[in-house]
Chains A and B, each alone.
Chain A
Amino acid sequence: MAESAQIIRAEEIDPKFKYVVSKMHGAEKVTLCFQCGTCTAECPVSRFSDLYKPKRIARMVQLGLKDKILRDKHLWLCTTCYTCVDHCPQDVEIANVVRVLRNISIQYTESMPLVYRELAENLMKTGFVYVIPESRIKRREELGLPPLPKTNPGEILKIFELTGLSSLIKGSQTFERVE
């Protein structure tokens, strides 16, 4: 078996954690998971990774293993294919639970994958997640394409300030790869 036995110590457990998670949009039903394993069995990522198992993530939330799950970088391996959402007999929407955990984990660990910080910074500056080079924008005319509409970076910045994401990305450490 890929998952080796782990001893859980009482002080690792935060009994309130599952309620914190299930208050978040998309993760409301995490306590309903009855560990049938359908999600892991059908998850394409789990097929190629011994360390990413959605069923296990649901259980860790239920058990209150807050620190362990929020520091687990494998959270970043879900592709959001939503196969698990369609097939869960308890309608847990585990992909959305993973999204919620990623959101909380960034605040808790003050770190995120480098690629996401780059996307967020580009977005905050330009309105797009990639910096579209001037040459590309000019080439549109040659290709017979209409000009790319101008974005409104001022409004995007307002959104980032409203949600706190602008300061979150500034204060964040990054990591590059998740093996």
Chain B
Amino acid sequence: MVSGKPRYLIFLGCVIPYRLSSYEISARRVLSALGVELVEMPEYNCCGFPIDPVNHDTAVLLAARNLCRAEMEQLNILTLCNGCFSSLHKVNKMLREDKEERERINEYLKILDMEFRGTIEVKHLVHVLSEDVGFKKIKDSIKRPLSMLRVAQHPGCHIIRPKKVVGKDDPENPRLLKDLIGLTGAKCISYRGENECCGNPIIGVNEDIPFKMAKEKLDHIIAAGAEALITVCPFCHIMFDLNQPRIERIFNVSIGLPTLHYTQLLGLAMGFQPQELALDELRVKPTALLRKVFKENSSQKSS
């Protein structure tokens, strides 16, 4: 690729436009400030992930259609969602490596006048930040170091597992998001079960188990002394932010742990204002956290 400004097709998926504009707003802000050019992905459709349990071929074809669409634009895809990354990356890899499967799917794709050729890459936000923007550039962009904060990471499953499909991080000790958090100046503390699932994918058939899974995770995070949880997936975010009041009611506890999209944390450190990052849209209000950030920064300036 020619060096210069990274250009990506932004793949928003379904859940972000449906109910999580805070992630999109903050992601567009920080990516643009870091020199990543985002092109709207024309005529995209669901990544296929949610329909895989119902019918695998449909899921593969939905993913393949998106990939072919991106091949026409000759641009790589950037996803904000772990599920979208998983589905598009997995199908991209499978169709590239498995000739028989590629021929079978291409036979199907003829009806859409499309052909999978395997000419583009699929990356999640964390990969674009670490591989294309680079740690140095992110570090240089920090105007308001968040060294007063102790936060915890929740990378989620599908950017770390299965290892043989994703391969970019260590699923037993995921570092990528942790290192990206570190660049903001915030301390990313360790806790038990950092690499575990949020439970959200089965919430439509059973609420009891995912809420127990999320509660267990929140317990470990609180026990380790984190003031906020940082996510990079809309599904995980919904589980810990939107559903947190329900978890509090079910288990009759008060948790009150602000859960931020990584792009909101980074945006704060880059000097954006809370409303520019849609921090007011969070269900669990980060009021105390913001007070701490702005108090310490203004006292640093005046001293």
Contact = CB atoms under 8 A, between A and B. Distances in A.
Given A49-B209, A128-B46, A159-B61, A149 B53 contact: no
Contact of B44 (A81, A113, A145, A151): A151
Interface string A79-93: 111110110000001
A145 B62 contact: no
B275 to A, nearest CB: 11
B17 A148 contact: yes
A61 interface: no
Nearest to A102: B53
Given A81-B197, A83-B161, A158-B111, A119 B206 contact: no
B205 A115 contact: yes
B43 A149 contact: yes
A60 interface: no
B56 A26 contact: yes
A132 B46 CA distance: 12
A48 B209 contact: yes
A80 B200 CA distance: 10
A155 B65 contact: yes
Nearest to B111: A158
Contacts of B28: 145
Nearest to B14: A128
Nearest to B171: A86
A106 B54 contact: yes
B161 A123 contact: no
B246 interface: no
A77 B209 contact: yes
A136 B199 contact: no
Given A156-B45, A165-B58, A177-B205, A136 B18 contact: yes
B42 interface: yes
A152 B14 CA distance: 14
Given A119-B54, A143-B21, 5 more contacts: A103-B53, A113-B204, A136-B19, A151-B43, A159-B58
Nearest to B10: A146
Interface of B: 12, 14-15, 17-19, 21, 24-25, 28, 40-46, 50-58, 61-62, 65, 101, 108, 111-112, 157-158, 161-163, 171, 196-197, 199-202, 204-206, 208-210, 212-213, 278
Contact of A150 (B43, B61, B163, B200): B43
Contacts of A102: 53-54
Interface string A84-115: 01100000010000011011001000001111
A13 interface: no
B51 A77 contact: no
A146 B53 contact: no
Contact of B56 (A80, A100, A144): A100
A123 to B, nearest CB: 5
Interface string A113-126: 11110011001000
Contacts of B158: 80, 82
- Residue in A82, A116, A147 whose Cβ sees the most chain B Cβ within 10 Å: A82
Contacts of A148: 12, 17
Contacts of A144: 25
A78 B196 CA distance: 14
Contacts of B171: 86
A103 B55 contact: yes
A102 B12 CA distance: 27
9 contacts: A83-B197, A99-B56, A130-B14, A140-B17, A143-B25, A146-B40, A149-B42, A151-B45, A159-B112
Contacts of B14: 128-130, 132
Contacts of A106: 54-55
A68 interface: no
A102 B201 CA distance: 15
A128 B101 CA distance: 25
A79 to B, nearest CB: 5
Interface string A151-174: 110011011101111001100000
Top 3 A-B pairs ranked by shortest CB distance? Answer: A115-B204, A81-B197, A82-B161
Interface in A69-83: 76-83
B199 A44 contact: yes
B161 A81 contact: yes
Contact of B51 (A48, A83, A120, A150): A120
A141 to B, nearest CB: 12
A179 interface: yes
